[in-house]
Amino acid sequence: MTGLKIGFIGAGNMAEAMIKGILASGIKAELAVSDSSVERLEVIRTVYGVEAVSKDNKRVSDFADIIFLAVKPQILSVVLRQLKGRVRDKLIVSIAAGKTIEYIESILGDEIRIVRVMPNTPALVLSGATAVCGGKSALDEDLETVRSLFSSVGSCVIVEEEKMDVVTGLSGSGPAYVYQFIEALSDAGVKMGLTRADATLLAAQTVLGAARMVIDTGIHPAQLKDNVTSPGGTAICGLHELEKGGMRAAVINAVEAATEKSKELGRKK
């Protein structure tokens, strides 16, 4: 992709992750950023060399062909009303959690090309998991453009919007589940005699390596698990304890509960 003009309204962590990813990927694009915080704008300007920074959202929207709405859900309506009538022929990409495409179209108009995105926090270290979906007027090439941009900060899939609550429950909330698992592994290592630093490093690297094996090999996780479990060995004994503790059911229940909560929050907005 070359010659893109990309604007970010909001300069928070996710916008910063996207800027970092775009620059690291070599995508040829001109960037502009707006935010109410002068401090955040200064970070974007000095750390990433983006000179086109402003407190004026309209200036960024007029500049850009692709506009990322990287603001908190509670102020999205204010930003959308600022942009109304100014974004015809532009692609709008919303990262505002819980805000549906229908909601955005109700303010901007359903003729506007809108793509909704659900990223997660590991995008900050270019290892995110993101899902995208398109509105009534979004073109296939719009979805591909957004998918390519978010692939610069990790992996990205295209889904139907009705699946976004599931995405929120799985990959959106999932880092919290994984952090708790890493903490539990580290606690176990400390209990059995390792230092906290060594236990945490080994636990985190084990999770990272196992995830990389799933992605790089394409082998089903169950088969990879079987490859580790020798007959009468240590791993099968540990797995038996996890099964007795209901780990599999607990994880499924966690994703289900988070999905239902996402639906509930969406109905309240």
Tens-place pLDDT, residues 146-205: 999 999 999 999 999 999 999 999 999 999 999 999 999 999 999 999 999 999 999 999
The neighbour count for residue 247, using CB atoms within 10 Å, is 14
51-60 mean pLDDT: 94
d(CA 186, CA 166): 29
pLDDT value, residue 145: 95
97 is in an annotated binding site: no
d(CA 4, CA 170): 32
120 is in an annotated binding site: no
111 neighbors 139 (Cβ within 8 angstroms): no
46 neighbors 70 (Cβ within 8 angstroms): no
Among 7, 21, 131, residue whose Cα is nearest residue 67: 7
Q: In the chain, count of helices (H) and strands (E)?
A: 12, 8
45-63 mean pLDDT: 95
Could you tell me which CATH class the domain 172-268 is placed in? mainly alpha
The neighbour count for residue 148, using CB atoms within 10 Å, is 13
List the end-to-end C-alpha distance of the chain, in Å, as a whole number: 35
71 is in an annotated binding site: yes
115 exposed, middle or buried (CB, 10 Å; 0-12, 13-18, 19+)? buried
Task: Say whether pLDDT at 130 is over 80.
Answer: yes
73 is in an annotated binding site: yes
For the chain, give every residue range classified as CATH 1.10.3730.10. Answer: 172-268
21 is in an annotated binding site: no
Task: Say whether pLDDT at 269 is over 70.
Answer: no
pLDDT value, residue 219: 98
Mean pLDDT score of the chain: 95
What's the CATH fold of domain 4-164? Rossmann fold (3.40.50)
213 is in an annotated binding site: no
Its pTM stands at 0.89
24 is in an annotated binding site: no
For the chain, give every residue range classified as CATH 3.40.50.720. Answer: 4-164
pLDDT value, residue 27: 87
Chain centroid offset of residue 75 CA: 20
Task: Say whether pLDDT at 1 is over 80.
Answer: no
Confidence class of residue 98 from pLDDT cuts 50, 70 and 90? Answer: confident
pLDDT value, residue 26: 85
pLDDT value, residue 84: 95
57 is in an annotated binding site: yes
Which residues, in sequence order, are bridge partners of residue 132? 117, 158
99 is in an annotated binding site: no
Token code pair at residue 232: 């009468």
